[in-house]
Amino acid sequence: MTTKWQILVIIIITLAVIGGLAFYVFQPQLPKPSPTPTFTFIPTPTQTPTPTPTLSPTETPNEEARIKELLESYVRLYNGHSLDDLMTCFTEDAVVKETNGEERVWTGTRNIKARYSAAFKNYPEVRINVSEPIVHIVGGMAEANCLYDWITAKATVKGAYFIKFIKIDDAWRISLLEIRTSRPPASSNITPTPRTFDEAVKSLNTPELVSAFVHNNIHYRAETVNEYVPARIVFERKYDDCNGFATLQAYLLRANGYDAWNVGIAIETATGHNVCGYKHDGVWWVLDVEGAKKGPFNSLDELGDYYVRGGSIILFNPLDIRYVSNNPFALPHTVFRK
């Protein structure tokens, strides 16, 4: 005999089962949790020693690397005050030149040794730092620009080296070491930092200002194709190779009344070079890559011979370089020397 209560309980249970089934069937599809990623421990492979490449006598190591090694040796020997070994970095007839205000020159290793000997005696703790070398190889010759710090117990002097190298008996040697100590431009204690090309043309109105600005703001970058670009592009992209440095510096000077040119020396050959050359008080001066000032030269021939003896000399008016060209001879130019 079933009571009312029993019927009620059966109904409740039945409803609960139906409700449960319905929920199971129609439950919202929740995204399945993604499985916890498992981390596999990968053991570090055992280091197999890289075999040192050995060069057969016919192979030549990268010349740029060899020049940088020579620079490193120079710094190490200088800092060790190893006078005799330091002299082996130079050619017998090398020249060391200080172009800090008045120019001072030491020619030949005997005089150069005396110079370094005096420096080591006067500053027993002196050492140097050399950084950011930019090497430019031209056949059996090479050039490098780099920054240096000359550090003594009392002060650090900052400056730049311009170095020329020649190869003797398959070894690179320093034939010229030009030491340029940073100092404020004569006309102003602060180098203007123009934001636009037009501002640059107005504010960079002396060779000293152009040199300082270029040294601090434009970087050397080698090119695989010989590309001449307008001065404005060099200014805006902040890099170029020698012809871009020549165009920008000559443009800034010419726009401020200087007789300034992009001087191409032996540019039809692989050993060609471009500099900004300007005539002032009857002599020629050069602003080279990174603003390095050189000179004076008594004539344009002498200037050209400094880089490539007897090489051709082509003059480009920097204001006439108005488009990008891979063929300099398609740009307006004057042949000064064939």
Least distance to Ca ion, CB of residue 160, Å: 22
Q: Which is nearer to Ca ion, 174 or 244 (CB)?
A: 244
- Indicate the DSSP class of residue 240: E
Q: Which is nearer to Ca ion, 182 or 317 (CB)?
A: 317
244 binds Ca ion (CB under 5 A): yes
Least distance to Ca ion, CB of residue 225, Å: 9
Closest CA to 274 of 232, 217, 323, 234: 234
Counting DSSP H helices and E strands in the chain, the numbers are: 9, 14
- Between CA 201 and CA 236 the distance in angstroms is 13
Axis-axis angle for helices 207-217, 242-254 (nearest 10): 140
Q: Which of 243, 249, 262, 274 binds Ca ion (CB under 5 A)?
A: 243
- Between CA 215 and CA 114 the distance in angstroms is 31
Closest CA to 89 of 124, 58, 116: 116
- Between CA 188 and CA 98 the distance in angstroms is 22
- Burial status of residue 39 (CB atoms within 10 A of its CB: 0-12, 13-18, 19 or more): exposed
311 binds Ca ion (CB under 5 A): no
Which range touches Ca ion (CB under 5 A), out of 80-88, 161-169, 237-245, 307-315? 237-245
Which residues are bridge partners to 334 per DSSP?
A: 315
63 binds Ca ion (CB under 5 A): no
- Between CA 115 and CA 156 the distance in angstroms is 19
Which range touches Ca ion (CB under 5 A), out of 67-75, 143-151, 157-165, 223-231? 223-231
Which range touches Ca ion (CB under 5 A), out of 30-38, 57-65, 161-169, 236-244? 236-244
Q: Which is nearer to Ca ion, 81 or 273 (CB)?
A: 273
Q: Which is nearer to Ca ion, 86 or 231 (CB)?
A: 231
Q: Which of 143, 178, 240, 290 binds Ca ion (CB under 5 A)?
A: 240
Least distance to Ca ion, CB of residue 84, Å: 42
Count of residues in contact with Ca ion, rule CB under 5 A: 5
Q: Which of 143, 178, 208, 241 binds Ca ion (CB under 5 A)?
A: 241
- Between CA 97 and CA 181 the distance in angstroms is 11
Q: Which is nearer to Ca ion, 272 or 304 (CB)?
A: 272
Q: Which is nearer to Ca ion, 207 or 328 (CB)?
A: 328
Residue number of the CB atom closest to Ca ion:
244
- Indicate the DSSP class of residue 178: E
- Show the site string, 168-207: x = touches Ca ion by CB under 5 A, - = not: ----------------------------------------
- Between CA 174 and CA 130 the distance in angstroms is 15
Least distance to Ca ion, CB of residue 245, Å: 9
Q: Which is nearer to Ca ion, 207 or 244 (CB)?
A: 244
Edge-to-edge strands, sheet with 313-316: 293-297, 283-287, 273-280, 259-265, 313-316, 334-337
Q: Which is nearer to Ca ion, 120 or 220 (CB)?
A: 220
Residues that bind Ca ion (CB under 5 A): 227, 240-241, 243-244
